Amino acid sequence: MDRLQAKRPLYPLVSVVSPLVVLVVGLLTAKSPCFPAYIVAVVLLYCAFGLAKQAVMSLAVFIPVSLVFALFSFLFQRNFSAAGQMAGRVILLGVSALPMVTLPPINLTRCIAALGMPRIITLGMLIAIRFVPVVQGEVGRVREAMKTRGVRHSFYRTFAVPVMIRLINISDTMALSLETRAFSTGREPVSVYKPVVFAARDAFYSAAVFALIITWVVMA
């Protein structure tokens, strides 16, 4: 995911809201015959705001995936048009998310803190982002330990129970680490080391997305 991070990320709230608007509008209008043009326009817009490399990487993944999805869709529904729409939806899903997935998480948490939103949201984000790789690591360690015991695999006994026990321990350590570093969900004042500000570039980007959506809705 690190390779995806933007060099000049957009303002966090813009990065979160704009992809949602692009996606929802796209899904609502996916049946339009011009739908591929909408996807191309979205990609070009993102490229113009410094996400060209990430757009290429995303397309390289999502185009093959979309073909698989389209194939399955065709097998179930026997309908070329529906399969095409499915492929378009999958590509849009991958591409539209770019401003959000290229956003460094710290920018988002700092933006939330600066806006005075509940800190429990920051907590959830910090942990959710961090926990997925932790889960991968712990699953690997448990599997290895079970191997050393020469056990016959049983999902509940040799996997679920030890993994859950480990993850609960880690969860407690995480919470403790937050508390000992003076994190609180109360109303205590906090500061932001590198404040994230809404710049002219973000305004241009927002205007461009707005113009694209309006044009597309009128066309579709």
* 69 binding other proteins? (CB under 8 A): yes
Binding window for other proteins (CB under 8 A); candidates: 39-47, 48-56, 180-188, 197-205:
180-188
Question: How far from the centroid of its chain's Cα atoms is residue 177's Cα?
Answer: 26
Task: Locate 84 and state its tokens.
Answer: 């095409």
> Residue 216 CB, nearest distance to other proteins (Å)?
16
Binding-residue pattern over the window 138 to 157 for other proteins, x denoting contact by CB under 8 A: ---xx-xxxxxxxxx---xx
Among all chains, which residue has been given the structure tokens 């712990």? 138
Question: How far from the centroid of its chain's Cα atoms is residue 109's Cα?
Answer: 14
Cα distance between residue 92 and residue 202, in whole Å? 22
* 126 binding other proteins? (CB under 8 A): yes
Written as one string, the DSSP assignment of 105-138 is HHHHHHHHHHTT--HHHHHHHHHHHHHHHHHHHH
* 100 binding other proteins? (CB under 8 A): yes
- Binding positions for other proteins, 26-45, rule CB under 8 A: 27-28, 31
Binding window for other proteins (CB under 8 A); candidates: 40-48, 53-61, 93-101, 205-213:
93-101
Size of the residue set binding other proteins (CB under 8 A) = 88
* 111 binding other proteins? (CB under 8 A): no
Binding window for other proteins (CB under 8 A); candidates: 33-41, 51-59, 94-102, 198-206:
94-102
Give yes or no for a contact between 51 and 95, defined as CB atoms under 8 angstroms apart: no
**Per-state percent for the chain, helix, strand, coil, to nearest 5:** 75, 0, 25
Give yes or no for a contact between 101 and 94, defined as CB atoms under 8 angstroms apart: no
* 50 binding other proteins? (CB under 8 A): no
* 19 binding other proteins? (CB under 8 A): yes
